[in-house]
Amino acid sequence: MVVADPENMSEAVAAAVAELNAGGVVALPTETVYGLGADALNPDAVAKVFAAKERPSFNPLIVHVRSREAIHEVADIPTEMLETVNALISAHWPGPLTLVLPKKDIVPDVVTSGKDTVAVRMSDHPVMKAITKEFGKPIAAPSANKFGSISPTAVAAVVEELDGEIPLIIDGGACLNGVESTIVRVEATEGRPHLHLLRPGPVVKEDLQKVGKVIRPKKKKVTETAPEAPGMLESHYAPSTPLYLYNDPSEFVPEPGKTYGLLSYRGQDKDGYMKLHDWEQIEELSPGKGKLAEASVRLFFCMRKLDQSGVDAIIVEPVSEVGLGVAIMDRLRRASVV
């Protein structure tokens, strides 16, 4: 593992770029979660990402580019989409917004799971920005964890899941957003463009509405058929411990002899969960405050702590489903067994 701090940033960047150029995979920090990166134009390197993650080949990857202009290296953007795409990347790149666009032939099918579209973004993390700039080519980078499990927001989580299975981990500190990027498919239409919100994230609906009409996909079960974008499978982001998301405290009926942990939004009795049971362990997303930005940063960290606590089941208190709360509830629903 190489620590990317101000004193040895150049060493960390050089190590990552050398591994990428050799066709290897590298765990890299982004502002959302840690990613497992490989040369997006090298099918053999990308195959190593799928192997390390035990990720099914039908689930496409996000491609990270070094600049706003570099989007044109991987995406074949129709003229009628250009104004909308430029407005979105002008407002949100670098940052946690992924755009699904028609792909160029240079992008291997393994990256896009055979689709004619590519998911692309530009990270705002200083380490990832430096690596993509120095590497000079797009990097395919899904989350640096085993497929379907809790996404890693700190290097310790990457080490826990992938140490010994990949050649290099770059430690860039804790991730600042905590949930994966917002994914949008752009559609040019008469009047306002349509922005299909495939995965909610840090760039919220209210931000996107400034550019176009936001459309949520019809709810349908996505299991073993190819999803349109990453993070859309019915079961995802899940701990190994069964997790139950209840909209009302009365829905929880404990089983005798089982131990339970509580993932609380703000740790307040008035929400109805804190005194509902003699919890073995309680983790709070935003202690006492109920701040969605803090809750999103702590979400996967708290889920992981409860998963490692030894409880038989995790009970989750819902958060306010506005703004960032939409992304948090999306992850919790996909992690829940009910």
Instruction: Kindly report the pTM of this predicted structure.
Output: 0.94
Task: Assess whether pLDDT exceeds 70 at residue 225.
Answer: no
Encode 150-188: b = buried (16+ Cβ within 10 Å), e = exposed: bbbbbbebbbebbeeebebbbbbeebbbbbbbbbbbbbb
Contact status, residue 96 vs residue 182, Cβ threshold 8 Å: yes
pLDDT computed for residue 230 by the predictor: 77
pLDDT computed for residue 290 by the predictor: 87
* Mean pLDDT for the stretch of residues 192-198: 96
Considering only CA atoms, which of 307, 314, 301, 308 is closest in space to residue 259? 314
pLDDT computed for residue 237 by the predictor: 83
Task: Assess whether pLDDT exceeds 90 at residue 322.
Answer: yes
When mean pLDDT is compared across 2-6, 70-74, 187-191, the lowest value belongs to 2-6
In the block, which residue shows the tokens 């101000």? Answer: 6
Dihedral sign, CA of 279, 285, 291, 295?
Answer: negative
C-alpha 121/C-alpha 176 separation (Å) is 17
Band the pLDDT of 221: cuts 50, 70, 90: low
Domains along the chain?
2-215 (3.90.870.10), 243-335 (3.40.50)
**How do residues 132-184 score in pLDDT, each as one tens digit?**
999 999 999 999 999 989 999 999 999 999 989 999 999 999 999 999 999 99
Task: Assess whether pLDDT exceeds 80 at residue 219.
Answer: no
Task: Assess whether pLDDT exceeds 60 at residue 223.
Answer: no
Contact status, residue 321 vs residue 268, Cβ threshold 8 Å: no
